[in-house]
């Protein structure tokens, strides 16, 4: 009897010590992780291992991750040792981040999904990756993307293939940051980074029931990021909650001498954006309904969600100002796009890649692509530079280009005259397209139309689901550098509606 008790106790102790600690990763937030670290429930190394196990078990169907960081566990161990010694957590201490594969990350390839960069390992981190690491974040993995960030529709690369929407694998996650969107939505990492030239943070965030911040052009450095059109490009958070996105923004916003446009942010950044996380953030807010976009051939289910969102905001204390119109809107939105890909890419290649064999757009074409869509886009850039229409009009950034300034001033004039805090419209008027039909079913992308040209911040937040378990997003457009107000509004909406749910 004694022997039986001894062996029972021995095996119970042996297996309880050797088993991996079970960590519930679903919808895990930064605050919850930090509470767990403080209370000793688990540490950063155990959390990273749990995410790596989840990627291994879940990502084969989604195909969102392009490269695992081989240093992630070691980075976590160092942070655990630091916490053990200091008892203090940095702002993003031990938080695993999914990084889009066009952002320079030391020790990992930065491919932009292209064969021409398949073996490019940058010599240093991009500015924002440095900032994240200084705050204690762990780069868990790089994410798949639309090759060269060309496609807002889908996320297909020559290096990794096609990413699927975790809510419905037959559908796209949008592009170009579809890998980040799908990975964060599927709880393969805590938070994510995307880039947005026209749609690529807000589109995938909307299609994956995430919060996506396209911030004011000039608030966050783009140094060390493979460009599409640098005059439009921003980088920003893609997260499951407004609070997590705000915590990331606190870390990455600010001036960088290597990205001169960020000088416009000086003096316009609060001590902490988290001060604007107010549950009653919609109380007495004046919200303008921009039906010029929302009523442009919408899917009936998206339209119903949008109109319900307006009622919800009113119920949360907002004043809804319906049918806001911008004078000459259709004329002002024209001729805004400029084809600067060749110049911007060749500058990146010269600065970071530094290879004679990969220094021009012609080199990229010679090396090739597996994607028909990418091939068609590159052909366009061979024969087009400058403004797509009326090429005699100079192209500039949001602070110098006269067409961009005029567009922004017209929108701000209406917002000022009606004392509006934001304009709202669906991020997409239609649900995610099927992967096999993405070009014909690509409809209703509202993210491309205003913010990329005016430079204004535009945030998307989950608005609900339509048939096929496909998410939809609500977009808030604000004034330049008015991220505090947008955070207040989207947090109020999120906390009052709780539309976000994980894919199953």
pLDDT tens sequence across 212-264: 999 999 999 999 999 999 999 999 999 999 999 999 999 999 999 999 999 99
In a domain, 502, yes or no: no
pLDDT band at 323 (very low <50, low <70, confident <90, very high): very high
Residues spanned by the domain of 248: 30-497
Task: Name the nearest CA neighbour of 131 among 246, 248, 269, 46.
Answer: 248
In a domain, 10, yes or no: no
Structure tokens at 472: 């939809």
Structure tokens at 188: 């393969």
Whole-number pLDDT of residue 15: 38
Instruction: Select which of 151, 155, 158, 200 is catalytic.
Output: 200
In a domain, 15, yes or no: no
Positive or negative, the CA dihedral 237, 241, 247, 253 is positive
Whole-number pLDDT of residue 20: 63
In a domain, 346, yes or no: yes
pLDDT band at 361 (very low <50, low <70, confident <90, very high): very high
Whole-number pLDDT of residue 124: 98
Give CA–CA dist 248/382, Å, rounded. 37
Does residue 11 carry a pLDDT above 60?
no
Structure tokens at 382: 């061979």
Domain CATH code at residue 344: 3.90.1300.10
* Crossing angle of helices 242-252 and 483-497, rounded to 10°: 160
CA distances for 218 relative to 148, 263, 294, 457, 489, angstroms? 22, 7, 28, 10, 22
Mean per-residue pLDDT of the chain: 95
Give CA–CA dist 384/337, Å, rounded. 12
Whole-number pLDDT of residue 5: 42
Instruction: Select which of 66, 155, 176, 205 is catalytic.
Output: 176
Contact 246, 273 (CB under 8 A): yes
Give CA–CA dist 248/237, Å, rounded. 6
Whole-number pLDDT of residue 465: 98
Does residue 393 carry a pLDDT above 90?
no
Whole-number pLDDT of residue 339: 85
Does residue 12 carry a pLDDT above 60?
no
In a domain, 212, yes or no: yes
Residue at token pair 């040792």: 81
Count of the separate structural domains present in the chain: 1
Structure tokens at 395: 């192209």
Instruction: Select which of 100, 142, 160, 485 is catalytic.
Output: 100
Active site residue 151: no
Active site residue 258: no
pLDDT tens track for 419-450: 999 999 999 999 999 999 999 999 999 999 99
Does residue 10 carry a pLDDT above 90?
no
In a domain, 291, yes or no: yes
pLDDT band at 380 (very low <50, low <70, confident <90, very high): confident
Whole-number pLDDT of residue 290: 98
In a domain, 25, yes or no: no
Question: How many other CB atoms sit within 10 Å of the CB of residue 25?
Answer: 19
Give CA–CA dist 61/66, Å, rounded. 13
Residue at token pair 């005699």: 392
pLDDT tens track for 63-72: 999 999 999 9
What is the phi-psi region of residue 229: left when phi exceeds 0, alpha when psi lies from -120 to 50, beta otherwise? beta
Residue at token pair 């001036």: 255
In a domain, 122, yes or no: yes
Of 346 and 13, the structure prediction assigns the larger pLDDT to: 346
Mean pLDDT, residues 154-174 taken together = 98
Residue at token pair 């991996």: 20
Task: Name the nearest CA neighbour of 214 among 224, 228, 203, 225.
Answer: 203
Active site residue 176: yes
């Amino acid at each position: 009897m004694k022997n039986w008790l001894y062996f029972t106790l021995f095996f119970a102790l042996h297996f309880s010590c050797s088993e991996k600690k079970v960590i519930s990763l679903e919808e895990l937030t930064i605050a919850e992780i930090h509470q767990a670290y403080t209370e000793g429930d688990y540490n950063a190394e155990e959390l990273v291992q749990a995410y790596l196990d989840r990627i291994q078990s879940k990502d084969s169907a989604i195909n969102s991750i392009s490269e695992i960081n081989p240093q992630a566990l070691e980075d976590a161990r160092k942070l655990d040792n630091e916490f053990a010694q200091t008892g203090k957590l940095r702002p993003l201490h031990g938080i695993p981040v999914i990084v889009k594969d066009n952002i320079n990350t030391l020790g990992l390839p930065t491919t932009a999904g292209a064969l021409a960069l398949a073996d490019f390992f940058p010599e240093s981190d991009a500015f924002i990756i440095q900032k994240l690491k200084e705050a204690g974040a762990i780069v868990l993995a790089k994410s798949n993307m639309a090759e060269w960030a060309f496609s807002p529709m889908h996320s297909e690369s020559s290096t990794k293939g096609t990413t699927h929407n975790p809510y419905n694998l037959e559908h796209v996650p949008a592009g170009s940051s579809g890998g980040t969107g799908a990975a964060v939505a599927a709880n393969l990492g805590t938070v994510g980074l995307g880039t947005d030239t026209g749609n690529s943070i807000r589109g995938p965030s909307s299609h994956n029931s995430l919060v996506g911040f396209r911030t004011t052009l000039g608030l966050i450095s783009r140094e060390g990021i493979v460009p599409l059109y640098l005059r439009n490009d921003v980088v920003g958070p893609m997260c499951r909650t407004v609070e997590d996105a705000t915590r990331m923004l606190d870390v990455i916003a600010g001036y960088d001498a290597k990205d001169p446009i960020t000088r416009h942010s000086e003096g316009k950044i609060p001590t902490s954006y988290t001060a604007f996380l107010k549950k009653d953030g919609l109380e007495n807010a004046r919200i303008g309904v921009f039906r010029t976009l929302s009523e442009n051939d919408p899917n009936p289910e998206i339209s119903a969600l949008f109109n319900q969102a307006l009622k919800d905001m009113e119920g949360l204390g907002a004043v809804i100002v319906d049918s806001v119109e911008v004078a000459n809107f259709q004329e002002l939105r024209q001729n805004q796009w400029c084809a600067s890909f060749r110049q911007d890419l060749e500058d990146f290649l010269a600065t970071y890649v530094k290879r004679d064999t990969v220094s021009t757009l012609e080199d990229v074409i010679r090396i090739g692509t597996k994607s028909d869509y990418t091939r068609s886009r590159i052909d366009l850039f061979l024969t087009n530079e400058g403004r797509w229409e009326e090429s005699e009009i100079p192209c500039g950034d949001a602070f110098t280009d006269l067409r961009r300034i005029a567009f922004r001033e017209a929108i701000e004039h209406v917002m000022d005259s009606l004392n509006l805090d934001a304009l709202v419209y669906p991020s997409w008027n239609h649900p995610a397209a099927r992967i096999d039909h993405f070009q014909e079913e690509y409809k209703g992308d509202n993210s491309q139309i205003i913010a990329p040209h005016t430079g204004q911040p535009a945030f998307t937040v989950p608005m609900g689901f339509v048939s096929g378990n496909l998410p939809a997003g609500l977009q808030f457009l604000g004034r330049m550098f008015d991220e505090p107000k947008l955070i207040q509004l989207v947090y109020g909406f999120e906390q009052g509606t709780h539309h976000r749910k994980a894919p199953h």
